[in-house]
Amino acid sequence: MSTIQSRFRIQYKQFHLDTELEFPDEGVTVVFGRSGSGKTTLLRCLAGLERSPTGYMRFGDSVWQDESQNKFVPVHRRPIGMVFQEARLFPHLTVRDNLNYGYRRITPDHRKITFGQVADLMDLHPLLERRPQKLSGGEQQRVAIGRALLTSPRLLLLDEPLANLDAQRKQDILPFLIRLRKEMKLPIVYVTHSLGEVLQLVDTLILLQEGKSVATGPANEVLSRLDLAGKTGPSTVGSVLTTTVAGHEAEFGLTRVQYRDQSLYIPEQPLEVGSPLRVHLLAQDISIALGKSETPTSVLNLLPATILEIGPTDPKGSSVNLKLDVGEPILATITRKSLAHLKLKPGMQVYATVKAVKMVHEIEGY
């Protein structure tokens, strides 16, 4: 598998970036971090908008930057598409001319996608003759994504494309991004400070903290690492499960999803049976039982689990994180008192009860 490899070191007065990364050049790579963690600067380095004096960057077989060889491919010669936080549509051009701006600048034999295809994909036909100022924020971002796609990029870079949109607009854009991931074989690097917004998209996760990358890997692996649990904030500690919709129980307002040979009930989703769906299990919503209870309980989701690892205990805090194997690694947060009371040890067979399953969009934060 080919990869994107980079090494950037940038020193500003208030801020520094010092990262060395290697990640797959396929699927969606999410760069996640607080504001000021350097994620936008990292993206700008990948695009060639910033130049690290000692930097190195390789995309597949092509080296775009190697300062030791004095090599730096300028932005306009890189086969990238860039979407900025503010759409940056040219105000003196119509939507159609904005879309054509990059399309006209690549040679016809490099065009892998047509104007019509992009207009269909991003649903832009009703907007074509309008001026960017007359569009809503969500429409502007759709045009900006379409404009970038029309250069037939080999790498798409998105800098918090949803950050300036309200919750409703986010909901409007997200299906387009999901469609993009599904229909185009295009590696995407997506910068965000809100993990919830990208849970349906993410394949690889890069966690950035104070200019350094603290973790890189498959999303679920990174999210379920105990040593990182404290770093992502309580509202994101947990795991992502990739499931398939198995059926609906409309009379109860529930949807049943499946992963491996396990199933979970979640609030009803407007999805067809067989559709893929990622669900987020927050560690704080998962508790442990030693055996299947003889007395009836209200818990619907009961998964057989093996304790893999017990996180470090903070003598001042009351809780502790556990890593469980339920077919996939997941995290659970329980009290230290329960840990002692149940005499939990790595290797023990237990049951994980899932009180709630957060869907994408519901979690904001970090």
Indicate the residue among 24 and 102 with the shorter CB distance to other proteins: 102
Indicate the residue among 92 and 316 with the shorter CB distance to other proteins: 92
How far, in Å, CA of 185 to CA of 27, rounded?
8
Closest CA to 285 of 236, 243, 244: 236
Three-class secondary structure of residue 147 per DSSP:
helix
DSSP labels, 194-249: -GGGGTTT-SEEEEEETTEEEEEEEHHHHHT-GGGGGGS-TTT-EEEEEEEEEEEE
Stretch binding other proteins (CB under 8 A), from 68-76, 185-193, 210-218, 358-366: 68-76
How far, in Å, CA of 145 to CA of 137, rounded?
12
169 binds other proteins (CB under 8 A): no
Residue 60 main-chain phi, psi, to 5 deg: 60, -120
Identify residues 137-166 at the interface with other proteins (CB under 8 A): 147-148, 151
331 and 324 in contact (C-beta within 8 Å)? Answer: yes
How far, in Å, CA of 288 to CA of 324, rounded?
10
- Distance in Å, CB of 363 to other proteins, minimum: 31
Amino acid letter for position 224: S
92 binds other proteins (CB under 8 A): yes
Stretch binding other proteins (CB under 8 A), from 34-42, 99-107, 324-332, 354-362: 99-107
Interface with other proteins (CB under 8 A), residue from 63, 73, 75, 163 = 75
Q: Show the 3-state SS of 94-117.
A: CHHHHHHHHHCCCCHHHCCCCHHH
Amino acid letter for position 360: V
Stretch binding other proteins (CB under 8 A), from 102-110, 190-198, 300-308, 335-343: 102-110
366 binds other proteins (CB under 8 A): no
Indicate the residue among 114 and 275 with the shorter CB distance to other proteins: 114
Interface with other proteins (CB under 8 A), residue from 71, 105, 111, 179 = 105
Indicate the residue among 92 and 125 with the shorter CB distance to other proteins: 92
Three-class secondary structure of residue 258 per DSSP:
strand
- Distance in Å, CB of 63 to other proteins, minimum: 19
Identify residues 23-62 at the interface with other proteins (CB under 8 A): 47, 49
Residue with tokens 């105000």: 91
Chain positions contacting other proteins, by CB under 8 A: 47, 49, 74-77, 80-82, 84, 86, 88, 90-92, 101-102, 105-106, 131, 133, 147-148, 151
